[in-house]
């Protein structure tokens, strides 16, 4: 008669007759011997993905997963502007991103450990971004504009600004008083105001061409133009004496605020 031997880990046998506290001690000993059982990771949820993520490995600068009115939106940014956007679905551990042009990307392996989001074993890797205040983002925006348009802007300083807005197309226009930030560049007038206007146009180009701001018709005057992007608003204004003589100073002001 042939006898078959079945080997069962000692830790398992002992745990059957132990109390909860004793069983934990048995598991600790089993860990030393390399017998501890594998514990499955908690399933990733949509709430785990919602937010802004700085890129550690990938094409974008950062990406945003959001959810509004039952739709999941995805945007990848490069140099502060949307690189591509679409919708996203997390189902059975798989992340599917459908771009606005209809193309689809499926990530079959999605993991989140210690604030690091990995897609397909690190093919793309992201770190959760710490939320910034509106004030911090406005100051960063103006600082970036001063670097991109080197015309001698002053340091950024607090400033109040008025902004015309309405809740919907048929609503009454209301003037909001906002606490924002301002920087100015001084220009000496030469013959006419052409140079002053050219410098203001360069500043405008940074916000429209580089950052994606759009002109807001409610905030356009003879000496200023207002632009908006999401919660950001920007005024670009020229200040001068209409009867100024040659070489008298004039100014280009850039004022920005973050709408609540």
* pLDDT 10s digits, 18-51: 444 444 443 444 444 444 444 445 678 999 999 8
The mean of the pLDDT values for the chain is: 83
Q: Are residues 120 and 226 in the same domain?
A: no
**Domain final position from 101, 128, 155:** 128
Identify whether 1 is part of a domain: no
Q: Are residues 139 and 254 in the same domain?
A: yes
**Domain final position from 128, 158, 184:** 128
Rounded Cα–Cα distance for residues 77 and 58 (Å): 11
Residue whose C-alpha is closest to residue 147's, from 69, 89, 62, 210: 210
β-strand pairing of 116-119 with 110-113? antiparallel
Claim: this prediction has a pTM higher than 0.75 = no
Structure tokens of 6?
Answer: 């079945």
Identify whether 2 is part of a domain: no
Q: Are residues 245 and 168 in the same domain?
A: yes
Identify whether 171 is part of a domain: yes
Contact 190, 246 (CB under 8 A): yes
Domain at 76, CATH number: 2.40.128
Q: Are residues 141 and 118 in the same domain?
A: no
Q: Are residues 68 and 105 in the same domain?
A: yes
Identify whether 235 is part of a domain: yes
Q: Are residues 124 and 165 in the same domain?
A: no
Q: How many CB atoms lie within 10 A of CB 70?
A: 5
Q: Are residues 110 and 138 in the same domain?
A: no
Identify whether 80 is part of a domain: yes
DSSP alpha helix (H) spans, 61-207: 134-148, 194-205
Residue 96, CA distances (Å) to 35, 50, 51 in order: 37, 14, 17
Rounded Cα–Cα distance for residues 98 and 107 (Å): 12
Identify whether 53 is part of a domain: yes
Identify whether 108 is part of a domain: yes
**Domain final position from 91, 113, 128:** 128
Q: Are residues 21 and 71 in the same domain?
A: no
Contacts of 213 (CB under 8 A, 6+ apart): 207, 227, 228, 229, 232, 234
Question: Residue 32: its pLDDT value, please?
Answer: 44
Q: Is the pLDDT of residue 228 over 50?
A: yes
Q: Is the pLDDT of residue 17 over 80?
A: no
Q: Are residues 180 and 73 in the same domain?
A: no
Q: Are residues 139 and 89 in the same domain?
A: no
Residue with tokens 């959810």: 67
- What total number of domains does the chain contain? 3
Give the alpha-carbon dihedral of 156, 159, 164, 167, to 10 degrees: 80
pLDDT tens-digit map of 71-119: 999 999 987 788 889 999 999 989 999 999 999 999 999 999 888 999 9
Three-state secondary structure string covering 98-111: EECCCCEEEECCEE
Identify whether 143 is part of a domain: yes
Structure tokens of 238?
Answer: 């020229």
Residue whose C-alpha is closest to residue 217's, from 226, 209, 208: 226
Q: 55 lies in which domain range?
A: 46-128
Q: Are residues 250 and 154 in the same domain?
A: yes
């Amino acid at each position: 008669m042939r006898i078959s031997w079945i080997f069962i880990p000692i830790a398992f046998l002992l745990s059957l007759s132990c109390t909860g506290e004793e069983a934990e001690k048995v598991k600790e000993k089993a860990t030393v011997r390399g017998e501890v059982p594998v514990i499955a990771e908690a399933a990733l949820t949509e709430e785990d993905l919602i937010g802004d993520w700085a890129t550690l490995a990938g094409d974008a600068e950062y990406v945003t997963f959001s959810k509004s009115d039952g739709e999941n939106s995805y945007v990848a940014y490069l140099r502060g502007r949307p690189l591509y956007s679409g919708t996203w679905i997390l189902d059975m551990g798989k992340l599917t991103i459908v771009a606005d042009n209809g193309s689809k990307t499926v990530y079959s392996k999605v993991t989140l450990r210690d604030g690091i989001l990995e897609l397909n074993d690190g093919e793309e890797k992201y770190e959760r971004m710490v939320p910034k205040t509106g004030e911090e983002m406005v100051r960063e925006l103006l600082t970036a504009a001063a670097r991109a348009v080197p015309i001698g802007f002053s340091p950024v300083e607090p400033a109040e600004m008025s902004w015309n807005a309405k809740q919907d197309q048929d609503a009454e226009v209301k003037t909001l008083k906002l606490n924002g930030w301002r920087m100015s560049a001084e220009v000496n007038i030469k013959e006419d105001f052409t140079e002053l206007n050219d410098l203001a146009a360069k500043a405008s180009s940074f916000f429209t061409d580089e950052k994606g701001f759009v002109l807001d018709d409610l905030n356009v005057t003879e000496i200023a133009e207002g632009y908006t992007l999401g919660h950001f608003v920007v005024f670009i204004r020229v200040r001068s004496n209409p009867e100024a003589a040659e070489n008298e100073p004039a100014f280009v002001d850039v004022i920005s605020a973050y709408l609540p």
